[in-house]
Amino acid sequence: MLAPLNIVASAADIGVTKSVSDPTPAVGTNVTFTVTAHNAGPNPTASLQITDAVPAGLTFVSANPSQGTYNAGSGIWDVGALAVGSSATLQLVVTVNGTTPVVNTATRTTSSPVDPNPANDSASSTVTGSTVPGLPNNGVPPVAAIWPDVLAVILLVLVTAGVRLRISRRRA
């Protein structure tokens, strides 16, 4: 007689979260998306990949993973092994190109062992570029825009000084 065989499947619940440094930046400025992968166990991962491709409306600047590597072309963050209770982060710096809202999503693509809880495998953040009418993207008015005001103030000061000088000469 054969002994009963107990098969215990290993699993690792990977949770993905995402945030953005500024959800409404000025158009043309950089923002940082932070992706966090957390292993809630019960087993460590031997391998883990998360996909976070930079969507249209944003331009890739740089990536800084706390572990593993990020491929900007494919958007794949190869995290590697992740111990139970541990987290790894990826910081993606991008330039905001316009005022249309852009949703950036990070999703656990593959992991070993299997993830029994797909409900927490994806997270998104939205960024919407903003502009101020009459100002360039950096928020500082161009010299040409303020020059007429400067000239008006200088002219007012000179006219006032001239009138005072003329009045003081008549009294003397």
Q: Are strands 47-51 and 76-78 parallel, antiparallel or unpaired?
A: antiparallel
CATH annotation of 12-127: 2.60.40.1530
How far lies 6's CA from each of 9, 45, 56, in Å? 10, 22, 50
pLDDT tens for the 172 residues of the chain, in order: 666 655 557 899 999 999 999 999 999 999 999 999 999 999 999 999 999 999 999 999 999 999 999 999 999 999 999 999 999 999 999 999 999 999 999 999 999 999 999 999 999 999 999 986 555 555 555 655 566 777 777 877 877 877 776 777 777 6
| Sequence ranges of the domains in the chain | 12-127, 141-172
Global pTM value: 0.73
**26 - beta bridge partners?**
130
Give me the phi and psi of 108, to 5 degrees please: -65, 120
The token pair that represents 9 in the structure block: 């499947």
Give the residue ranges of DSSP H helices in the chain.
143-171
